[in-house]
Amino acid sequence: MSDTLVFIPAWNEEANLAAVIDGLKATIPDADVLVVDDGSTDRTADVAREHGAVVHSLGSNRGLRVGIAAGYRWALDHSYAYCGRVDADGQHPAGELAPRRFGTAVLRRAMKLALGRPFGDATSGLYAVNAAALPLLAETFTSGAPEVEALLRVSNAGLTLVEVPVTMAPRASGESKLRGSKAIKLVLTVAGTLVAAQFVRSRRK
């Protein structure tokens, strides 16, 4: 068994998953690959196994916040030293670039308040952590933005948090599951929560 696990939360991503897994295996051949199948009704699980990934099935569609925690929990329970997460679907389609730019700008400012430092993209699905962070991230997330909540958990625990630039490819096929007004509403809700949390924290000092 490798000391590194990369997991992919996936729900009905049979069209994109093969390329994601193959890319991981080509880039990090020594890493184990896990697909957390969130109750898919297509061939997501079959495609994952056909391309050499282990599949952890949640049985039913339980949502991203549960799927992400399940991946970190798997890494913790199997004593991996390092764990990474990537999205199954790649980058958002071109039509979503404007809402995403708006959302990223709002969250960037809110994250700066919450973390006390600039943070470029709090909603990225690309992460890598060491074993020290696994217990923090293996518990089910409670907010609608588990990526943001993960950053706050790591920061609040006093662990080092570093953002590095990456190249994101366009989504290969299908549609984003978080689009348009739904995405904007989530961004505003999360940003409001971050600002409120920082206000409460400052009042306690």
Domain range summary for the chain, segments of one domain joined by + = 4-204
CATH of domain 4-204: 3.90.550.10
Q: Which residue has the higher pLDDT, 121 or 39?
A: 39
Average pLDDT, the chain: 80
Q: Which residue has the higher pLDDT, 95 or 64?
A: 64
Residue 14 to residue 5: CA distance in whole angstroms? 21
Is the pLDDT score of 116 beyond 50? yes
Place of tokens 């952590």: 129
Residues in the chain: 205
Mean pLDDT of 98-121: 63
**Which one-letter DSSP state was computed for residue 197?**
H
Is the pLDDT score of 97 beyond 50? no
Is the pLDDT score of 55 beyond 60? yes
CA-nearest of 186, 98, 85 to 145 is: 186
Mean pLDDT of 100-126: 66
What is the per-residue pLDDT for 93? 37
Is the pLDDT score of 48 beyond 60? yes
- Which of 43-52, 81-90, 99-108, 169-178 is most confident? 43-52
Token couple for 45 = 């699980």
Helix (H) or strand (E) holding 5: strand 4-10
